[in-house]
């Protein structure tokens, strides 16, 4: 859905696009200077953004770069939120969360007992 206005507050847009769970979290991120609009650092959550602005901000351990495609009137479902921007973030290689994990899962009770018994016999 498009707004009749041609600009919107940056914290509100980030919240509408579902990059942050709450508007206050988005405002905190902007206020801390962690968001850039067209390469310039923004310090005020009341800063207005328009269509074609490029936003750069960190989200978790990833730096996101998005171009605003449209503005919205409300915070809608995720499918609607994804139409608000074009993601220009370069894909990162996924590193395994636990490199020692071999995909076998957690051992069951019988396996744990077997491991416990082997440890007892190795000690003697």
CATH for 52: 3.10.290.10
pLDDT exceeds cutoff 90 at 90 = no
Give a yes or no: residue 109 inside a domain: no
Task: Please tell me the distance from the alpha carbon of residue 122 to that of residue 117, in angstroms, as a whole number.
Answer: 9
* pLDDT, position 97: 60
pLDDT exceeds cutoff 70 at 119 = no
Give a yes or no: residue 20 inside a domain: yes
The 10s digit of each residue's pLDDT in 45-55 is: 999 999 999 99
Containing domain of residue 66, as a range? 1-92
* Tokens of residue 58, six digits: 């960190």
pTM for the full model? 0.71
Considering only the C-alpha atoms of the chain, give the largest distance between any 2 of them, rounded to a whole number of Å: 80
Give a yes or no: residue 19 inside a domain: yes
The total domain count for the chain is 1
Q: What is the DSSP-derived secondary structure letter of residue 83?
A: G
Estimate to the nearest angstrom the gap between the alpha carbon of 116 and the chain centroid: 42
Give a yes or no: residue 118 inside a domain: no
* Tokens of residue 4, six digits: 């009749």
Give a yes or no: residue 23 inside a domain: yes
Give a yes or no: residue 29 inside a domain: yes
Residue pair 57/64 in contact by the 8 Å Cβ criterion: yes
């Amino acid at each position: 859905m498009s707004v009749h206005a041609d600009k919107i507050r940056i914290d509100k847009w980030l919240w509408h696009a579902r990059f942050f769970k709450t508007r206050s979290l988005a405002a905190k991120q902007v206020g801390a200077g962690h968001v850039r609009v067209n390469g310039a650092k923004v310090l005020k959550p009341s800063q207005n953004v328009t269509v074609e602005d490029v936003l750069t901000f960190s989200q978790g351990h990833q730096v996101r770069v998005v171009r605003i495609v449209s503005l919205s009137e409300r915070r809608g479902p995720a499918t609607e939120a994804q139409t608000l921007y074009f993601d220009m973030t370069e894909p990162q290689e996924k590193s395994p969360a636990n490199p020692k994990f071999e995909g076998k899962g957690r051992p069951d009770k019988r396996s744990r007992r077997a491991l416990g018994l082997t440890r007892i016999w190795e000690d003697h």
